[in-house]
């Protein structure tokens, strides 16, 4: 993107397109030029759909010029994590297993984005099957963190986070089974929203764990995610877990927040998570206190609350995730495990050792955890805690390794099913971004995004972008 365009949020680009100050063709040309100039050093794009995207941008431009603006995503480039199926376009899951997989249909979310006028210019890198970790033994290299290319963006929606943070694309789709939208959002300094389970269809998104998988948006700001959710949220009979409920008014919630701040809202701080259960680094703690201060200044009532200890969520989460992912991959793994990367192969294979009894006990425990969590959140508009314990770590450090405490707080709301958003709430002294997690009651997605928007604006973190130079791959 040009120097000016790449620094604009999806929402601002959308406003310029709507006012015809910016053409979708100009925007797409700028995105493709920036991808070609910078992605050789970032590895966020697996497949660039240049010709097709330019044609679609031209069609969007003609439609808008004829007075038929479809909505805020019309003419906006949106990248897809390469587990979203795309009709006639390879969908590889960043794995040799699916190197030649060309789906016949678009995922429901891809169809919805296209119907809203978005243009799909690229399939984006991921951890293998959204699980494998940052790996160097796959057919394509892993994405690198644009704030410092020596650092890991983490995953699994690594390419989506990197492309947005680097200003290659204004928005992207990710998936979140145990933090795979929120974790890379935090380490790359963007916004990532894990919707309420059932609010966004997963039909056509390659599964990892049926009861923990969520599809959702990643973009520069919470407002951008809200605009994407306007197109994405809704009932899909093709997804057995889809909820037949009215979609929230995301744009209305953002507007409400801009008029009234956070006046009258009650926000719980899960302090034991980040001070006792998984103690965080000083930059994360400083950013957390800054965030709580601005929430109070914006009118919210902010106080500590107690949820079950983080470890209570981790155990059933691990059992459920591994059992379900083994069931999904068993046939491919037993046919030829050598097609997988080492990290993915080992993690998936471990699920073979979970018994049916343990899986069901984990789901029983999950029921109780959901009940206890929602009871603790009664009367609250949201709870907050950090997304990650620290800032990005060097490439090659396996953040999924079993030794040591988890690096992220994300699994809690995959188990509970409620919405959880990560926004950038500060920077370390080294200039690396830090993430705040804002989680809500089921279907409280609009409220969570409203709070995220208010915090981002009050803290002013969205004015800072990574500095990037053209580098040889």
Partner 1 sequence: MSGETVMERPRLEERLHACGLRLPPEDLAPLDELITILDQAAEVVRAPLPVSAEPANVLVLPHTRPTD
* Coil vs helix vs strand at 428: coil
Confirm or reject binding of residue 136 to partner 1 (CB under 8 A). no
Q: Which range in 48-56, 167-175, 317-325, 425-433 contacts partner 1 by CB under 8 A?
A: 317-325
Site string for partner 1, 158-177 (x = CB under 8 A): --------------------
| Apex 434 CA angle, 41 and 394, nearest 5 | 45
Rounded CA separation 454/221 (Å): 10
Rounded CA separation 65/20 (Å): 8
Confirm or reject binding of residue 37 to partner 1 (CB under 8 A). no
Binding-site member from 49, 233, 254, 333 for partner 1 (CB under 8 A): 333
Q: Closer to partner 1 at the Cβ: 241 or 285?
A: 241
Tokens representing residue 451 in the block: 């709070």
CA-based Rg of the chain, rounded to a whole angstrom?
Answer: 20
The least distance separating partner 1 from the CB of residue 282, rounded to whole angstroms, comes to 28
Binding-site member from 40, 367, 405, 470 for partner 1 (CB under 8 A): 367
Confirm or reject binding of residue 407 to partner 1 (CB under 8 A). no
Confirm or reject binding of residue 361 to partner 1 (CB under 8 A). yes
Confirm or reject binding of residue 365 to partner 1 (CB under 8 A). yes
Rounded CA separation 212/194 (Å): 11
* Coil vs helix vs strand at 385: strand
> Is the separation of the CB atoms in 220 and 11 below 8 Å?
no
The secondary structure of 336-377 as a DSSP string is HGGGS-HHHHHHHHHGGG--HHHHHHHHHHHHHHHHHHHHHT
Binding-site member from 2, 281, 286, 350 for partner 1 (CB under 8 A): 350
Confirm or reject binding of residue 370 to partner 1 (CB under 8 A). yes
Confirm or reject binding of residue 305 to partner 1 (CB under 8 A). no
Comparing C-alpha atoms, which of 106, 54, 101, 51 is closest to residue 80?
106
Tokens representing residue 85 in the block: 């199926």
* 2 a catalytic residue: no
Q: Closer to partner 1 at the Cβ: 406 or 435?
A: 406
Confirm or reject binding of residue 235 to partner 1 (CB under 8 A). no
What are residue 359's phi and psi, to 5 degrees?
A: -60, -45
Confirm or reject binding of residue 243 to partner 1 (CB under 8 A). yes
Comparing C-alpha atoms, which of 442, 440, 387 is closest to residue 410?
387
The least distance separating partner 1 from the CB of residue 108, rounded to whole angstroms, comes to 17
| Positions 409 through 428 that interact with partner 1 (CB under 8 A) | 416-418
Comparing C-alpha atoms, which of 196, 201, 195 is closest to residue 240?
201
Q: Closer to partner 1 at the Cβ: 219 or 349?
A: 349
Query: Catalytic: which of 81, 123, 194, 203?
Result: 81
Which residues make up the interface to partner 1 (CB under 8 A)?
196-199, 210-211, 240-241, 243, 311-312, 314-316, 318-319, 322, 330, 333-334, 337-338, 342, 345-347, 349-350, 352-355, 358, 360-368, 370-371, 374-375, 402-403, 416-418, 442-443
Question: Which residue numbers are catalytic?
Answer: 81, 156, 180
């Amino acid at each position: 993107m040009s120097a000016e365009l790449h620094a604009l949020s999806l929402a601002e680009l959308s406003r310029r397109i709507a006012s015809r100050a910016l053409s979708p063709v100009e925007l797409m040309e700028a995105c493709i030029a920036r991808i070609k100039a910078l992605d050789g050093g970032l590895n966020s794009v697996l497949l660039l759909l240049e010709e097709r995207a330019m044609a679609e941008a031209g069609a969007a431009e003609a439609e808008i010029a004829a007075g038929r603006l479809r909505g805020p995503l019309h003419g906006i480039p949106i990248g897809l994590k390469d587990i979203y199926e795309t009709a006639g376009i390879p969908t590889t899951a960043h794995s040799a297993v699916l190197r030649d997989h060309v789906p016949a249909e678009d995922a429901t979310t891809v169809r919805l984005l296209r119907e809203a006028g978005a243009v799909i210019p690229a399939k984006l890198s991921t951890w293998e099957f959204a699980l494998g970790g940052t790996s160097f033994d796959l057919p394509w290299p892993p994405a690198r963190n644009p704030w410092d290319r020596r650092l890991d963006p983490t995953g699994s929606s690594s390419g989506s986070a990197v492309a947005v943070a680097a200003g290659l694309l204004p928005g992207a789709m990710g998936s979140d089974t145990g933090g795979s939208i929120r974790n890379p959002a935090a380490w790359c300094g963007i916004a990532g929203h894990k919707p309420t389970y059932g609010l966004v269809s997963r039909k056509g998104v390659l599964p990892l764990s049926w009861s923990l998988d969520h599809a959702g948006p990643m973009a520069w700001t919470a407002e951008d995610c809200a605009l994407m959710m306007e197109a994405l949220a809704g009932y899909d009979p093709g997804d057995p877990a889809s909820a037949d409920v009215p979609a929230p008014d995301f744009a209305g919630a953002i507007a409400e927040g801009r008029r009234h701040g956070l006046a009258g809202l009650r926000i719980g701080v899960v302090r034991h998570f980040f001070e006792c259960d998984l103690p965080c680094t000083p930059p994360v703690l400083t950013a957390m206190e800054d965030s709580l201060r601005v929430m109070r200044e914006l009118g919210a009532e902010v106080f500590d609350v107690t949820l079950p200890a983080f470890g209570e969520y981790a155990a059933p989460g691990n059992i459920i995730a591994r059992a379900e992912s083994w069931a999904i991959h068993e046939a491919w793994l037993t046919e030829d495990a050598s097609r997988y990367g080492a990290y993915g192969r080992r993690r998936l294979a471990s699920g073979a050792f979970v018994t049916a009894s343990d899986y069901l006990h984990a789901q029983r425990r999950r029921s109780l955890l959901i009940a206890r969590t929602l009871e603790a959140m009664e009367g609250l508009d949201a709870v907050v805690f950090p997304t990650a314990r620290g800032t990005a770590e060097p490439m090659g450090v396996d953040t999924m390794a079993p030794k040591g405490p988890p690096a992220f707080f994300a699994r809690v709301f995959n188990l509970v099913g409620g919405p959880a958003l990560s926004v950038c709430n500060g920077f370390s002294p080294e200039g690396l971004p830090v993430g705040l997690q804002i989680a809500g009651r089921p279907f409280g997605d609009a409220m969570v995004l409203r709070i995220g928007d208010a915090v981002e604006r009050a803290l002013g973190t969205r004015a800072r972008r990574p500095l990037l130079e053209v580098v040889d791959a």
